[in-house]
Structure 1
Amino acid sequence: MALRGRFAAARGAWLVFEDEAGFSMTPPQAKTWSQRGHTPVVRVRGRSRRGISIAALTCYKPGHRSRLIYRPRRDDGRRDGRKSFSWRDYRDLLIAAHQQLGGPIVLVWDNLNVHKAADLRQWAAARQWLTISYLPPYAPDLNPVEGISSLLRRGWLLDVAFSTPEHLDQRIRRGLRLIQYRNHLMDGCLAETGLTIAPA
């Protein structure tokens, strides 16, 4: 992957990783310490499977500040509503990233079916500014966006009983906004994968 980084740097491109994560209103179960016979209990008003999916991009380029670009998608609870991102959602996210980054993109993502959809591949093939590469199967440890999701779960979403979908949405957006302004967190997520981006 260091070679991929050199290729991106040589082209003046951003090396961009993508991943999706789902966040539910259902409180996570956790283990903790307490006095014997006094199990701590967190009471919530109701359980809901409704939640939010986030498609996020971590963007790296030698000599530039790391960037985080994301799009949320809320599950409205309707059976006929789409819960996952469509190929058009990914297209729109990549167009927005290209506009914000102002340069070519080398995109690295997993082998999700929608990532390989014929319409998306046809659209991508017609874009000279976009090069797509796929991670090996079952290799989430090579994707720094996994670290962003982990930061959210262990930080801004930890120990919170969400009362409404809006409450969950607000906490996720707040956490992502704060991560966007903390370069060292995004750089740390890349370092955690063991990958490096070498200068040209």
Structure 2
Amino acid sequence: MPGWQPTHYSRAQLEERRLAALAWIERGTHRSQEIANHFGVSIHTVYTWKARLRRNGGLQATIASGATSRLTAAQHEQLRTFLREGAVHHGFPDPTWTTRRVTDLIGRHFDVWYHHDHVRKILRQLGFTPQMPDGRAAERNELRIASWKEQVAPELEKKVAEGATLVYLDEVGFSLKGVRRHTWSTRGVTPLVTLPANWEKLSTIGAITSDGRLFQQTKSGAIRSGDVIRFFQHLLRHVQGEIVVVLDNAGIHRAKATQAFVGLHERLSLVFLPPYAPELNPIELVWAYVKRNVLGNFCARSVSELKAKLVTAWQRVRYIDLPRQLMNANLCRDQ
């Protein structure tokens, strides 16, 4: 049994073993087989060590320099600039970068052609990582959104400072078809999730407030203007003082019945978000959390089972104090 046994053969430990063997080799009192047995290596390894000692004068580790990069440092910086300019700027039909597109970009500008798999390494060296892009509606008006942030958002903060409660309201649907998420499985075997053929759904109207509370009501089918009015009544019963509801431009929010109800209540007012700007409504993150962390890969067999799962979801959202976390983050972002 060898006398020298590291727990893990890391690069440092392999060098430690070689340097320990060096003393035995230089002493010249041990045969090669004895050295091999003591350090747990083959006799051929000992012969290699001795030849290396004669050639280099030591057994210290050498650092492999690797192949010289075919792109200069200046070209790497230029490539980083090209990537930040976006794929559309460089003639591609959409703004996503793929390794094949970057390979083409490098070839066109620098006349250096890599395999697209190697381009992954270059991208990481430049500080780029693979990410899932967010979807944005083509109909977005960025100027209008910027104007809302600059003019309306500060006014909302003033309202809060004066004692009003902001209420970020939205609706969401939950279907029996479920939300499929990544899971673990045997390599090469795709896991199966059994889904019911009947894709009934539940709809939730909900809101989070500037003081970190969550309100929600869930029903079968779609949310109508009457449901919005009933939810407003619920808010008026549970929220004191002035209520400023921030919501999108859905038809049920602008319906005549909805507007008439708001007109009858002085302490209730509506502020509409710019179209196609869900990122301005923090309750969207509550919906995303529920679908990802509670309903992910959950396959309800009936609407009642799905509704029971949603009860658990709302309890969990309140337990982790998610609304307050989101409102605090939203306030810090606006400042």
Query: 101-110 vs 33-42, which deviates more?
Result: 33-42
Match in the other structure for 2:157: 5
Could you tell me the percent identity over the aligned residues?
Answer: 25
Match in the other structure for 1:77: none
Match in the other structure for 2:309: 171
Instruction: For residue 35 of structure 1, report the CA deviation from its aligned partner.
Output: 3.9
AA matched with 1:189? L
Is 2:231 aligned against 1:93?
yes
Match in the other structure for 1:144: 282
Residues 98 and 104, structure 1, Cα contact 8 Å, conserved in 2: no
Match in the other structure for 2:166: 15
What root-mean-square deviation, in Å, do the aligned CA atoms of Structure 1 and Structure 2 show?
A: 2.1
Residues 171 and 205, structure 2, Cα contact 8 Å, conserved in 1: yes
After superposition, give the CA deviation of every residue in 1:19-44 in whole Å (9 maximum; x if it has no partner): 00100011334445644431112234
Instruction: For residue 193 of structure 1, report the CA deviation from its aligned partner.
Output: 4.8
Is 2:335 aligned against 1:189?
no
The structure in which a higher percent of residues are strand is 1
Secondary structure of the corresponding residue to residue 123 of structure 1: helix
Secondary structure of the corresponding residue to residue 155 of structure 1: helix
Secondary structure of the corresponding residue to residue 99 of structure 1: helix
* Counterparts of 1:88 and 1:197, CA distance in 2: 33
Which 4+ residue blocks in structure 1 deviate beyond 2 angstroms?
27-37, 180-183, 187-198
Change (3 A) 1:8 1:131: farther
After superposition, give the CA deviation of every residue in 1:141-170 in whole Å (9 maximum; x if it has no partner): 011110110111111212211121111100
* Counterparts of 1:147 and 1:125, CA distance in 2: 30
The structure in which a higher percent of residues are helix is 2
Is 2:215 aligned against 1:69?
yes
Change (3 A) 1:181 1:98: farther
Match in the other structure for 2:201: 51
Query: 134-143 vs 47-56, which deviates more?
Result: 47-56
Residues 107 and 130, structure 1, Cα contact 8 Å, conserved in 2: yes
AA matched with 1:149? W
Residues 5 and 196, structure 1, Cα contact 8 Å, conserved in 2: no
Instruction: For residue 119 of structure 1, report the CA deviation from its aligned partner.
Output: 1.6
* Counterparts of 1:69 and 1:179, CA distance in 2: 11
Match in the other structure for 1:84: 222
Residues 142 and 195, structure 1, Cα contact 8 Å, conserved in 2: no
Q: How many residues align?
A: 183
Match in the other structure for 1:78: none
Greater relative contact order (CA < 8 Å, ≥ 6 in sequence): 1
AA matched with 1:180? R
Correspondence list, 1:91-170, <5 A: 91-170=229-308
5+ residue gaps, structure 1? 75-82
* Counterparts of 1:29 and 1:156, CA distance in 2: 11
Match in the other structure for 1:80: none
* Counterparts of 1:189 and 1:164, CA distance in 2: 32
Match in the other structure for 2:192: 41
5+ residue gaps, structure 2? 1-152
TM-score by length of 2: 0.51
